[in-house]
Amino acid sequence: MDRRDRGYLLVAKITIEDPDAWSGTSSLTVIGPTGVGQVASAQVTWVFDVTQGPDIVIYRPTGTANISATGCVWAPASGAIERLDGILTVDYSTDPPTYRGAGTSQWPATLSCTDPTFSVSAETTVSFLGGLESSAEGVFAHGSVNPDGKTIEGSSTYGPATYKWKFTRSR
């Protein structure tokens, strides 16, 4: 029998894992002289992007950011969070692992207010993750991953601005 007449069966066992990601919410509240002035919030999923060495993982954001202001209306009040709008770095070489991240999204919008009455169209900038650690790249949130290994949570207040965030790991 000629070897070309034989059939071959190749069997492979493949395991497809869920992508490594952190999902949750974040917010920034800025208190004005007469009370709450502006609130930015976001539903964010930080998706695996790349590793730096064996223990540092970089994640990039996707999701939706929202903005509201006392006595005013933003139109549109929400915009898409793009991949390059932020960065979340987790260092798994420490015990517990540590994180550092920041995120800001922009979209064109109109701000209309009633007291005083005015309207202005501009590029809306919404900071959806930040903190007190400042560098040339921006203002960063930072801390330790919770002991469960699946939660990044924290808050940071600077003057009238308070950031809050909570993300849960999908794996």
Question: Over the stretch 105-122, which tens digit does the pLDDT of each residue have?
Answer: 999 999 898 877 888 898
Confidence of residue 143 (pLDDT cuts 50, 70, 90): very high
pLDDT of residue 130: 85
pLDDT in tens, 51-92: 999 999 999 999 999 999 888 899 999 999 999 999 999 999
Q: In the structure encoding, which two tokens stand for residue 152, read together? A: 């990044």
Taking the model in full, what pTM does it have?
A: 0.83
| Exposed/middle/buried for residue 97 (C-beta within 10 Å: 0-12, 13-18, 19+) | middle
pLDDT of residue 14: 58
Confidence of residue 97 (pLDDT cuts 50, 70, 90): very high
Residue from 45, 72, 75 nearest 60 by CA: 45
Query: % helix / strand / coil in the chain, to the nearest 5?
Result: 5, 65, 30
- On whether the CB atoms of residues 26 and 113 are closer than 8 A, the answer is no
| Residues in the chain, overall count | 171
Phi, psi of 70 (to 5 degrees): -60, 125
Q: Give Rg (Cα) of the chain.
A: 22
